[in-house]
Chains A and B, each alone.
Chain A
C-alpha cells in the first residue's frame, strides 16, 4: 500500500548573519534522517518514540504537509514524490490525517456539519443536499447524532466530541490510508478507549491501512500489527508488535519499554544514560551510543544498519531478553 525509502527532512537552523560569517557553516536539524518502511493493505503500523524523534514529521510528510528533503514515497506502487499537481490532488483524498489537538484542528467559525461538507466539496465528491445527507450519516456513525450536532459550533463540543468530528471529516472521504498523530493523548482518560474503538471500527469497515503515531507504548501495542521505534530521526527497530514488545533487540526499545508504567509491577529495568542528544549534532557511529549502557568501541565509529527478516533492528550487539 505504502512504501517509504530513505526519507529525510532537514530544517536549516536560523542564525544571525554574524554567526554565519564566523562559523561559515550551515547547521541543520535532522528531524527525519533516512527512514525506510512499508505498510501493507489493512495493516496498522505504530510509530513510537520520544518527543523530537521525528515521528510526527514523518507522518506530516506522508500526508503532504511537509516536503521531504530526500527520499521516495510510493503509494500503491506509484511514486508520490514525483507526481504532477493534479494527480497529487486526486491522491490526497485517499491519504488522510487525524491530528493530536482537536481544539486546533477544527475551524472555530464553522458548524460541525460544514466541516464534513467542506471536506467533500474540496475533493469534488459531493455538494448541496447530497453532501448534507452524507454528513448527517457520518455524524451518526461517529456517535454524534446528526440531528443534534450538525448545527453546533466547535466551542460547544468537548475534546472527545471534537476528535470524533475530526475522525468523521477524514473518514467521510473513504480514505485508503490514514495517519493518526497521537489522536487520544489530549483526550480525557475515560474517553480514550471509545475514540480508539471508533478508529479501529473504520479500519475494519474500510480495510484501512494506518500509521498510528504515539508516545504511549501501551496504545501502540493495542492498535498496531507492527511497531516501529524511532530515535533521533531513524527507525532503530521494527517488527511484529508481540516480538518487539516481548523480545526487544535494540537497547533503546528495551529502555523505553521498561519505563512504561504498568499495572503489572515486577518487570526488568533496562538502563538509559542521560538525556536525548541534540538533533543538530547527532552523535557519530550509532546515534544511541552515548546513552547505551552496552556500547563498545565499534558503536562509537560505525553506524549500524537496520537489518533482519521481518523483525529488523539497527544494533551491533542486539539484546537477547524476554520481557
Chain B
C-alpha cells in the first residue's frame, strides 16, 4: 500500500470552539490508483489533503491518527524530513496555480529551482528537464522563457503540474485543480492527470464535482462534515449510492445527458463548531430515526464503506 491514513483527526481551535474538520478518517491508496474525495465546501476534503502533506498551520493541528506513506509514518516525521517528502514524493496541485508560481520569475527558472532543490542535477540539465516537462504537459518547450502572466489560467495549471511531476512523485494530490477553469480546459487537465496515473503515480483528486469524480476516478470517498460517509468503486457508488447523503447529492445535480427533474437536498451543512448530536447528516436526512441520535459505525458492505445506521451489520 502506498498511502494508508488511519483514524486521522485534524482540528482547529477557534474562538467559537473546537472544529473537527477531519474526524477519524481512514483511507488507503495503492500505486496507480485514482481516488476522488468529493464533498461540499467545509466538509474537510481539503483539510484531509493538507494533513497528508502536513501543511496544517496554527490554530489547526493533527490531533490523532497515523499516515503511512511508502514505509514512513508522516505525522511523526521531523519537519526537515517532511520537507523532502513534500514535492519530491508527494506532489501538490492547488486550485489557484499562482499559489505555486512566482509572478516575477520565468517559468523555466521556477521549474529548474524546484528540481535543483530536490535532486542532484546541474543547471543545464535541469533546464533541459524543464523543457521536456513542458512538452509533456502539452505546452511548447520555449515557454520556459515566459512569465506566468503571459500564460492563460489553463496553461499556468499545466506548468504547475509539470513542476509537480518533474520530481517524479509517487502521489499527486490535486485540490480542485480545475474549479477556476472552463470545461474544455478542465477536460485537458484531467486527461493530463490520467496520463500521470498511467505512468504509475497515485492520484488524489479533491473536488466538489461529483460527475467529474465519477468520470475520472477508480474510487470515490464522499465526505460530509468531517467524516467519510461513503467510499467505494466509483462506478458502483454513483450508480447505486448507499448513504442517503450520497444519494441526495447525486439526485440534486443536473446532468447534461439525462432528462430528469432534480431533487433539492433539504437544509444546509452543519456548523462544525456545534455539530448535531449523533449522525451529522441527521438533520437533513429523510430516513433519520431515533437510532441516528448516536454516531453511526462505519461498516463494510461488499467492499463499500458506509457510515450510516441503515447498513448496520447485525
Chain A positions within 8 Å of B, measured between CB atoms, are 50-51, 158, 160, 188-194, 196-197, 215, 217-219, 221-222, 245, 255-265, 267, 272, 275-276, 323
Give A215 to B256 CA distance when docked, in angstroms.
12
B222 to chain A, nearest CB (A): 11
Which residue in B154, B257, B262 is a CB contact (below 8 Å) of A262?
Answer: B257
Chain B positions within 8 Å of A, measured between CB atoms, are 40-41, 152, 154-155, 182-187, 208-212, 214-216, 235, 238, 248-250, 252-258, 262-266, 268-269
Given contacts A160-B268, A190-B265, A218-B255, contact A262 B152 (CB under 8 A): no
Given contacts A193-B262, A215-B182, A215-B183, contact A188 B256 (CB under 8 A): no
Residues on the A chain within 8 Å of B268, using CB? 158, 160, 188, 190-191
* A192-B252 in contact (CB<8A): yes
* A188-B264 in contact (CB<8A): no
Residues on the B chain within 8 Å of A190, using CB? 40, 248-249, 252, 265, 268-269
Residues on the B chain within 8 Å of A194, using CB? 264-266
Which residue in A196, A219, A256, A262 is a CB contact (below 8 Å) of B184?
Answer: A256
| The 3 residue pairs across chains A and B that have the minimum distance between CB atoms | A194-B264, A259-B187, A193-B264
B292 to chain A, nearest CB (A): 18
Residue of A nearest to B224 (CB): A190
A167 to chain B, nearest CB (A): 14
Residues on the A chain within 8 Å of B269, using CB? 188, 190
**Subset of 11 A-B contacts with CB under 8 Å:** A188-B208, A188-B268, A190-B268, A194-B266, A197-B264, A217-B183, A260-B183, A262-B257, A263-B250, A263-B258, A264-B258
Residues on the B chain within 8 Å of A218, using CB? 211, 253-256
* A188-B214 in contact (CB<8A): no
Give A245 to B257 CA distance when docked, in angstroms.
8
B276 to chain A, nearest CB (A): 16
Residues on the B chain within 8 Å of A257, using CB? 256
Most buried by A among B41, B183, B258, B268: B183
Residues on the A chain within 8 Å of B155, using CB? 275
* B215-A265 in contact (CB<8A): yes
* A264-B183 in contact (CB<8A): no
* B214-A222 in contact (CB<8A): no
Give A215 to B180 CA distance when docked, in angstroms.
11
B152 to chain A, nearest CB (A): 5
Residues on the B chain within 8 Å of A222, using CB? 254, 262
Give A149 to B258 CA distance when docked, in angstroms.
37
Beyond contacts A158-B268, A188-B41, A190-B265: 20 other A-B pairs, Cβ-Cβ < 8 A, are A188-B269, A189-B208, A192-B252, A194-B266, A217-B256, A219-B254, A221-B256, A222-B262, A258-B187, A260-B211, A260-B256, A261-B183, A261-B186, A261-B209, A261-B212, A261-B216, A262-B255, A262-B257, A263-B214, A264-B258
Given contacts A188-B40, A189-B208, A261-B211, contact A275 B152 (CB under 8 A): yes
Residue of B nearest to A222 (CB): B254
* A263-B41 in contact (CB<8A): no
Residue of A nearest to B38 (CB): A189
Give A222 to B41 CA distance when docked, in angstroms.
24
Which residue in A189, A193, A262 is a CB contact (below 8 Å) of B263?
Answer: A193
A292 to chain B, nearest CB (A): 13
Give A257 to B183 CA distance when docked, in angstroms.
9
Which residue in A189, A221, A262 is a CB contact (below 8 Å) of B215?
Answer: A262
* B215-A323 in contact (CB<8A): no
Give A255 to B182 CA distance when docked, in angstroms.
12
Give A264 to B254 CA distance when docked, in angstroms.
12
